[in-house]
Every structure is written in C-alpha cells, then in structure tokens.
Structure 1
Amino acid sequence: MIQIGQINTLEIIREAVQGLYIADADGNEVLLPNRYVPEAYKIWDKIDVFVYLDNEERIVATTDVPYIKLNDFALLRCNQVTDHGAFLDWGLVKELFCPFKEQAFKMKPGGWYLVYCYLDEKTNRLVASSKTNQFLDNKTLTVSEFDEVDLIVSHPSDIGMNVIVNKMHAGLIYKDNIFIDISIGDKLKGIVKKIRPGNKLDISLGQIGYRNIEPNAELIMHELHDNDGFLNLTDKSNPEDIKDALQMSKKNFKKAIGTLYKQRLIEIKPDGIYLN
C-alpha cells in the first residue's frame, strides 16, 4: 500500500510523457514527474520517494525529502498567510497548509513554528498544526524513571521548558535543570527524572544520581587538559561561574570533582583545580 506522507520504496513500471509511473507490490501506481526522474534508471528498478498530494490534489511522488513527515514534529518557517490559513516551507514545491483553527498563535510570514503533520481524513491532504499538545498522550506512558529519551523543545513556561518526549508524551524541564541554551524545535537527549501523579514527566538534560558523576567527571578532565591542567573553579565557586564554564550545576560539579579527587586525578587548592 502506498502511504501518503511517508517515504515509500516503489518499483518503476513504465515511462510516460509526464514522467515515470511507479508502483507498490499490490500494483498501486503513482506518478514521479519528470523533474524528479533520475538520470539513469531501468524498468523494475526500485526507488525511494515521498508521496503527497500536488497543487491539483492529485497523488504524486517526489525524490525530495521533506523537513517533516506524517505524524512527526518539526520547526518550520511560514512563507505566506492567506484568507484560508498559513503556508509553511517544508522543503517541497507545494507548501504545507496550516489552517487558522490549527494555529496556537496567529502565524506571520517569516515566523518559525513548531508543528505536527497529520492527515486530514476528509481531504486526504497533509496538514500542519501548531497546537501540538493535542497529539501527545500521557494517559499510558511508554517510559519509566531513569530512561533515556528523545526530546523536542516545545514551548516555555513560568517554571521551565515544555518538551515532547519520544514524539509521544509531554514533559517538563525545570529551570534549575537547564544549563545550556535551548530553543523551540531543538532536538536533545534527556532522562526521565521523575514521574509525578497524573503521569507528569519531569525531565533532566543530564543523567541522575550516581549516573551523573562519570560523564561530568570526564568533561572536567577534558577541560583540565584543554587549559594546561588548571581550572579556576572550586566547591566554593559561584554556581553561575560553574554553569558558564562547564554547563552543569554546582551540585553535579561537586560530585564530579569529589570522584576525581578520590581517584587522585586532581588536586583541589584554594585558587582552583589542578590536574595531577
């Protein structure tokens, strides 16, 4: 079955004036227009294509890879706004439509928006929505505490940054756990720090507890080697100075240098840390 909104591997079955006709194993055909026809090909060759509806609402294939596919999230630029809605650049000739009713905030040309791509069952068209929370579900979780997860930064809140977890769930990174600059649409790795009542997910950008010591200790060792064996930081340093230099909290910094000190890899003096 040919899947609209996805990459399909299809077989070239015949040539036509307007391009190549390609088909799936069941014989369902779609046109690959001339502009996408490869220079060298043979009948029965297989080719990877993205399938969607063109400007005339006909199913069509392209070898271009879009910035977003069906049931996925991406940060897209708004090219234009008409009386019907906004049109977004998703890397294809035909722009991706986002109706006004699916806009969390009124879109403006030139603006960037995190959207979800879904299939409108009435029109069979791919459509965007910036109301991304409606496509997330925390009723039944597929993650557990301390799991490593994929994150997409969604939108800020008064207490931190909302994130999309594994493209399925909503999560939150509290302000005091953010030690790097992050922006809407960024894709990151994180850890499920805690699952609160109501299946609310607290997310950490670093690892937790004893798991956090080794990576941070390794980072400090790299910094020492890059700075002639000295860092002007101690356990008495200002948390902001530690954050600026190492992108970690003072608590994690103290754990890491404690580990390195016990392993006799560093010496801690009043003016800073020295590499042994």
Structure 2
Amino acid sequence: MNTLEVGTIVNLVVSRETELGYMLMNAKREEVFLHRAETEKGLEENERVKVFLYHDHEGRLAATTTMPFIDMNSIAWLEIVGVQPKLGVFMDIGIKKDILLSKDDLPNERSIWPQEGDKLYCGLRTDKKGRLFADRASNEEIETLSEPAPETLRNQYITGHVYRFNEQGAMIFTDDRHIAFLHRDEGGQRLRLGQRLQVRVTFVREDGRVNASLKAPKEIAYEEDSQQILSYLEQNDGFMRFNDKSNPDDIKRAFGLSKAAFKRAMGKLMKEKKIEQSPEGTKLK
C-alpha cells in the first residue's frame, strides 16, 4: 500500500533524474514524480527535498516544492479563481494547480455562489477515491477561531467575508476574527457566499458576536432621503401629490422608501422650511 498521500507535505530524497524532472523516494522506496517546472533549482541525486503532494491534470500523484497556503491540517482564506456550474468553484491554494470546491459543498441556489475574487475559509480533504478537494470550514471551526468583539466596536465599521446564510440573513467572519450577523432587512443588496463586505456594527451582544448593517447611520439616511424628495419636487415643477397621508405602497413605488422613512425625511424638510404640505400634496417653498 502506497504511503505517499495526496495533500501532505513530506521530505523525500531525489532517487534519480529524468528527462522531464526528478523521481523522489521515501524510506519505503515509494516514488513520486517532481516536474522540473515545479522546483526553482536543479536537484542532485540523494538530495533531500521538502514537497507538497497533489494530483496533476491527468490525475497522477505528483510533487511540487511550492508550499501551499494550507495542508490537510490547516485552514485559510482561499480565493475563488474560476466557476464551473457543473462542478463547483476552483480555488487558489498557492500552487500551480487550482483545487475544486465541489458544488455539493455550495448552496443549491446558484445565484448566491461565490464569484471570482471572492474568498472562503477552507481546508483540504480527500474523497473516497483519494481525490483532493477544498473543504469549507464548518460553523464549529469558525466559532472556535472567533474572538469576542469589544463593546467599543458599536457604530464602528468592520470588514469581512460572508461565510454562510441562514433564514434570517448572512453570517460574516471579519478580518479581526469577529462573527457578525447581517439581517436580510439590513442588507439592501443581493449577497453571495464569500463576498467581502464593509458593515457597520449596530449592536454588540453579550456572547461577543455583533449585529451589523449595510445601511447608513440614521443621520446620513435622513439626509439622503430628504435630498431624494427635494430632487423629485424639482423635477416635477415643485409639486408632488404625496404627503404624510399618502399610501405606503405608492410611496414605496415612487421613492423606494418605507412610509416611516418618508415621514422622517418630510419632517426634516418641514423643519428646515423647504416644503409645505396640503391635502392635495407637497410643494417647494
């Protein structure tokens, strides 16, 4: 039985040189091929060399002196470098050959799959046939790696990657190893797995996790909403049929705002004496 296992880092000895590279051997005299392109310098017979074992494009066990970002006993952020809907996504592990994260390890909903440039926290695994695959970090592994957020983080901006979805929203693992929850009502956009986001911390929980939002703080949101209403008025000769009593669905269709947000923005403009309301609607002053 061959004890040279794919996905491992081993020290082997150069047993002989071939036309294309070198044959490496372990203590049990088992051999593996190291292509000349997979080493930065020429090697001598009996020289000891540290290599990573992987399967080449023809499925044969091969060696490289380039060390990957991860091995079978570690996990790291891996970048997606290709997407093949029938297979899954390919990930850069630091060697010339990209490693597949199977579609079986991705959501059924294709629209939330990661895209090229996104990153997922992954390790390596082999299947029953001994083939090497990327392996997404489990929730338990993320939780073990995480650190509690300090209370001072409230209203601060943090950055991280979406690592899973649940019925309420998305979970983010931040650069500082905090776990953040982004409720779907706080998103404001369609999210995908592995997407990098900058979010604002709205609440720090007792367990050290945080709630986050992609929405601007209320003061900024009020200003943006009120400017939107002013622009609408200016584009409609200074009058609109909307006021505080308007139907919420009509407001949503016209401005993309909830009635509560619309009323807050209108109140701001009234206080600034920029508009006046009547039963017929609202006009610029």
Q: Shorter-normalised TM-score: what interval?
A: 0.5 to 0.7
Q: Shift of residue 116 of structure 1?
A: 1.1
Give me the CA root mean square deviation.
4.6
Q: Shift of residue 245 of structure 1?
A: 3.6
Mapping for residues 78-93 of structure 1, pairs under 5 Å: 78=84, 80-81=86-87, 88=90
1:4-32 per-residue CA deviation (whole Å, 9 max, x = no partner) reads xxxxxxxxxxxxxx9xxxxxxxxxx976x
Matched AA of 2:166: S
What CA distance in whole angstroms lies between the structure 1 residues aligned with 2:282 and 2:55? 62
TM (norm. structure 1) is 0.53
1:65-89 per-residue CA deviation (whole Å, 9 max, x = no partner) reads xxxxx625669634554xxxx5527
The count of corresponding residues between Structure 1 and Structure 2 is: 208
From 268, 276, 281, give the equivalent of 1:259. Answer: 268
Unaligned runs of 5+ in 1: 1-17, 19-28, 32-52, 61-69
What CA distance in whole angstroms lies between the structure 1 residues aligned with 2:251 and 2:258? 7
Contact 1:78 1:109 in 2 (8 A): no
What CA distance in whole angstroms lies between the structure 1 residues aligned with 2:218 and 2:107? 42
Mapping for residues 100-111 of structure 1, pairs under 5 Å: 104=105
Contact 1:73 1:116 in 2 (8 A): yes
1:160-189 per-residue CA deviation (whole Å, 9 max, x = no partner) reads 3114164443333334445x4423245554
Distance change in 2, residues 1:74/1:196 (3 Å): farther
Q: State, as a whole percentage, how many aligned pairs show the same letter.
A: 21
Q: Shift of residue 225 of structure 1?
A: 3.9
What CA distance in whole angstroms lies between the structure 1 residues aligned with 2:63 and 2:268? 63
Unaligned runs of 5+ in 2: 1-19, 21-37, 41-53, 57-61, 67-75, 126-131
Contact 1:149 1:166 in 2 (8 A): yes
What CA distance in whole angstroms lies between the structure 2 residues aligned with 1:110 and 1:210? 33
Q: Does residue 1:77 correspond to 2:83, yes or no?
A: yes
TM (norm. structure 2) is 0.52
Distance change in 2, residues 1:117/1:187 (3 Å): closer
Q: Which structure would you say has the larger Rg?
A: 2
Query: Which residue pairs with 1:234 in the alignment?
Result: 243
Query: Which residue pairs with 1:198 in the alignment?
Result: 207
What CA distance in whole angstroms lies between the structure 2 residues aligned with 1:235 and 1:73? 49
What CA distance in whole angstroms lies between the structure 1 residues aligned with 2:190 and 2:111? 21
Distance change in 2, residues 1:119/1:257 (3 Å): same
Q: Shift of residue 194 of structure 1?
A: 1.4
Matched AA of 1:112: W
Contact 2:178 2:209 in 1 (8 A): no
